[in-house]
A and B are shown apart, each in its own frame.
Chain A
């Protein structure tokens, strides 16, 4: 029996609680479990269902297996790709760690594809170059066919089975337990049993992934609802750079599933309605392997100019058949399967219809390169050199975090790298933190209340005017899709912000039909909608405020990048129901090398 004021709540004690069982969460759990800490992984789905599984193309590391390569070149590409919004210390750390960690993954059993000499197969990917952009295309993306994410996630799960990590599968995180000493744990809802659990821990790690479901059309899984960001917002902490949302150039038109950049890495290219290879015009050197934001915008421009394909003239075509059936089946079997199933196209014979589709959340919970959650000091002082502060015992990694290694635009192949590098780095940092944190803190006996209220509000049937939550979600996604996708203008976004506030109001009168406790997935959808709504609001406000074009944030009315005014990170928080924006400087000083100063991005 615990000392909490409610004995219906099961009180767990772990050294570390990790929320989310994707690649990042599991890599971090592995680091901690191997150091003999009691690790609990709390996940709303079974671990192998996490969205890491859908990553296709691969993971960047300057192994130089195909042609010469160096982590410093990788760093240059990443900084350039980020449109100079990435924090260069974190980028240096990540690119330096990459070769070692890819080899470590291989040692752990990831079935990477191989080259003739037995080393790991590497393919070219968008935005990669050698010798700081002067030496031509690099081949830096380590791949397991086009199922790299699946291979890595399963290997991480297997390794955690080895170490005996505690898994709490199908538990939904409701509320962070915060007190003056930082984060003490998390309240969670056992979906299958319909019961409350309080996980108390000396460190809480958010590894909840992205928030692609704020958009109507996305390559993301149904579970990508930005739960970590929403938990942090709920705890009155800020989230960073949410306006930067990557649109992947090649989602299958009108359906969403991702067609990996690997297709273009292996030699596929894009065509418009006139059969022209239009990327030659937009990026004369890199062509189809320009950075994702560049390719997405190019497709959007082609469509705008009336050169879109299909009956609605709204998409482009991705040609692969010239690679030949053998190469496609060996290197891109999953793409072949997806195109066949979702576009009804045999890509060994016909091109695949593709359009830019919401894909990756560059923003997230602000952290430093150790995974520690940071926040600006006093309000408004962010830019004035106020040192950012660390929130004790709270960490964030992976897509949920904004470290920020991706800045305004992520390079393909850097997301799998990020989860492994920072999963591990965060694990190491937590191990240090645990050295002088011997005991669990005493909690406020009422600390469970907020979490329980969040669920009970939906399960009680007091609402008389009921709006289906699916309707509210559709509205929100439509607003985001129509007002905040590839092209943004002041007018359209301002309208979007107003509409979004309206859907927020309808959320308070929203209700669910399902009042059961056991496996109530409608309840889960309602909780996810709350999370999505919070993130959509900060995304919208951040985007409206940023009057420049940078990376994935492209505005018609401000087509140029404005380094004078905007080379800074947005910090958005929700205080008293209102979105507040603050800013902090970009960390332009790397750990050991010279800084890459902003230059015009040409591919």
Chain B
């Protein structure tokens, strides 16, 4: 491997640019196992301080740096440079309003999350101790509670691109399913009522981009399918 990394990065400065453009950068390899975030940091700290992107934990658990990398959504901090074709094309998450460079507006995404009432709802009196839940019941939550809300899946979903205003998208539906599956939640009926809608739920056509790009290797498509089946069982 050569010791220069070539990149093309999406740039848009709302105060100066009328149109976005791609800017080429060349960055030296500074250590083994470099991740894309290291490269972006190198540019920001040594070449061009105006490059704008979000970052926080740097280890793939906070979900700040979801980006479109060579056409596939992923987290910059856990995407190794080694596997990427150069020049690496780095763009913001697709179909989102770009605030600046690689930073997109996440407001609608989180509004949709809030719309499913993503908190435990139960009317039964609280027990003195913890609510009991068997390891098997708890295992049902594996594969959904780990979601970090980075938005990679939702913004890779063509159905969400076309109908993002109404379709809840994979991330939110994965969380909706998490509450359906949680043995402690008592509002399954109301939750299903809120989901049974051609636009909110049934826009999912099993394209499976969400599953392909999820940095945490979760499977929203499967979760959406589970919601559909639960609705069917309720009806029949």
Contact = CB atoms under 8 A, between A and B. Distances in A.
B106 A161 contact: no
A513 B50 contact: yes
Given A109-B182, A222-B56, A512-B49, A517 B15 contact: yes
A147 B55 CA distance: 20
Contacts of B105: 192
B130 A103 contact: yes
A503 interface: no
Contact of B119 (A46, A150, A162): A162
B126 A111 contact: no
Nearest to A338: B59
Nearest to B55: A222
Nearest to B48: A513
Interface stretch (A115-123, A133-141, A576-584): A115-123
Interface residues of A, number: 62
B33 A342 contact: yes
A159 interface: yes
A107 B129 CA distance: 9
B221 interface: no
A123 to B, nearest CB: 14
A519 B52 contact: yes
Interface string A36-59: 000000000110111101100000
A118 B131 CA distance: 8
A222 B58 contact: yes
Interface in A100-117: 102-103, 106-109, 111-117
Contacts of B119: 108-109, 155, 158-159, 161-162
A518 interface: yes
Given A49-B62, A114-B134, A342-B33, A519 B48 contact: no
A48 B151 CA distance: 12
A45 B182 contact: no
Most buried by A among B114, B117, B135: B135
Interface in B23-48: 31, 33, 44-46, 48
B135 A103 contact: no
B110 interface: yes
Nearest to A255: B33
A333 to B, nearest CB: 8
Contact of B129 (A119, A342, A468, A519): A119
B15 A112 contact: no
A31 to B, nearest CB: 16
A257 B184 CA distance: 33
A53 B59 CA distance: 11
Given A117-B132, A119-B132, A221-B56, A522 B44 contact: yes
26 contacts: A49-B54, A49-B56, A53-B148, A54-B57, A102-B130, A108-B120, A109-B119, A109-B120, A112-B130, A114-B135, A114-B137, A116-B134, A119-B129, A158-B118, A221-B58, A222-B57, A222-B58, A256-B58, A256-B59, A470-B46, A470-B49, A512-B49, A518-B99, A519-B100, A519-B103, A521-B53
Given A49-B63, A54-B59, A468-B46, 11 more contacts: A49-B54, A107-B120, A107-B126, A119-B129, A192-B99, A222-B55, A334-B61, A470-B46, A513-B48, A519-B99, A521-B53
